[in-house]
Structure 1
Amino acid sequence: MQINIKNMVCERCIAAVRNIFDLLDVKLEKVQLGVVETVNELSHQDLDRLEQGLKTQGFELLRSQAEILTGQVKNEIVLLIAGLDIAEDFLLSGFLSARFHKHYTAISKTFSQQENTTLEQYFIHQKVEKVKELLLYGELTLTEISGKLGYKSVQHLSSQFRNITGSSPTDFKSQNRSGRIPLDKI
């Protein structure tokens, strides 16, 4: 049985979800970001217990098709950005259409209805959080970060960063402040 879960954004989330299933004695076939496959079908009672267990750790069971699609889109965006290999000519619309075999307008409309923000804004916020993370690590220059996240220029990155955070990347780094938002809160 495939179960879709909201707010799984990292390896620790996978471990936490795996632990919840273990506590409920549910045997798993596969666990990845946003999706768990169980060996056996779960009863409604088991699903309700699972939902309660997930909520205690900040996760949610996704039941409707719109919730599932939105969760899958978010996971794809998180994985894409984590890979640090976004081409300068990257188009989010083409990427998501190819990944989900749906028209981008349908994906975008569903996402906006579920999240009360546009896909583009979500994508930009995720990229800005990655920029914050990389700036705090101090291992890459702003030019390198810009290239890895698909920005056409450092100025474009800086403009989006300032619009979201209220400060420039340089100011953010020099103030050495965290100010990061957990990925599941974006």
Structure 2
Amino acid sequence: MKIQVKFDFLSICNNLLSEKLVRLGIKYKLNSSSEIEILERLSPEDKMLLYKELNSSGIHVIDNHQSILVQRVKNILMEIIKLDNYNDDFKVSAYIEDRLPHSYSYLSRVFSEATFMSIEKFLILKKIDYVKDLLIEDGLSLTEIAYKLNYSSVSHLSRQFKKTTGFSPSYFVNLKKQITTATKKN
């Protein structure tokens, strides 16, 4: 028997983090998908044990200031993608500046140096990943998706999708259906 599953990585990661921190007896608070607030002072030995335990599951503690900023910007960008019905006056730069104590130009420079791409390019890539999910998993139309993600038009979304993936959205959906059908037959 074969079944298809979809992972909610955020829930999986939060559950894994909670399990590890509880097992270690550490009092904590999950502030976001990648930030844990330790509510007690840890000895150097406990800190090393925590890092080792997290690392054994592929969770790496970021301790470099620039890397922390980049991760926080990425988290904010993912938050922006999931926002519903933001208006035409919405500015990504202002939204990021409101949440971090740095200028957008500084954050943009740090982000580009660390990731070798601009904040705007990263946002587009993540939006297109989200579009793929919405097309396949949620079965939304391209018009609904364009509206949901605040694209100026369906053609703008289609052009950006094709430029990023190499496929038109309709070709992508058909290709995914063909692959799924072929997989079910095997």
TM-score normalised by length of structure 2: 0.81
Tell whether 2:18 aligns with 1:18.
yes
Equivalence for 2:159: 159
The DSSP-based 3-state class of the residue aligned with 1:36 is strand
Q: Which moved more, 1:164-173 or 1:89-98?
A: 89-98
Contact between 1:80 and 1:86, CA under 8 Å: does it hold in 2? Answer: no
Equivalence for 2:126: 126
Distance in 2 separating the partners of 1:12 and 1:87 = 32
The Cα of 1:61 is off from its aligned counterpart by: 0.8
What letter is aligned with 1:76?
Answer: I
Q: Which moved more, 1:14-23 or 1:40-49?
A: 40-49
What letter is aligned with 2:18?
Answer: R
Contact between 1:111 and 1:118, CA under 8 Å: does it hold in 2? Answer: yes
The Cα of 1:30 is off from its aligned counterpart by: 4.1
Distance in 1 separating the partners of 2:115 and 2:48 = 24
Quick check: which one's strand share is greater?
1
Distance in 1 separating the partners of 2:178 and 2:84 = 20
Gaps of 5+ in 1: 1-8, 180-186
Distance in 2 separating the partners of 1:57 and 1:87 = 40
> Max radius of gyration: which structure?
2
Equivalence for 2:4: none
Per-residue CA deviation, residues 38-86 of structure 1 (Å, 9 max, x unaligned), is 2211233323222222223332211122121111111111122123444
Tell me how many residue pairs correspond in the alignment. 171
Distance in 2 separating the partners of 1:58 and 1:87 = 38
Equivalence for 1:56: 56
Equivalence for 1:103: 103
Per-residue CA deviation, residues 148-167 of structure 1 (Å, 9 max, x unaligned), is 11211111111111122110
Q: Which moved more, 1:145-154 or 1:80-89?
A: 80-89
| Correspondence list, 1:31-180, <5 A | 31-176=31-176
**Sequence identity percentage:** 30
Per-residue CA deviation, residues 11-52 of structure 1 (Å, 9 max, x unaligned), is 221111111212222122445311111221123332322222
Higher relative contact order (CA 8 A, sep 6+): 1
Equivalence for 1:184: none
Distance in 2 separating the partners of 1:53 and 1:95 = 35
The DSSP-based 3-state class of the residue aligned with 1:37 is strand
Per-residue CA deviation, residues 75-106 of structure 1 (Å, 9 max, x unaligned), is 11112212344434432212111221421110
Distance in 2 separating the partners of 1:31 and 1:89 = 28
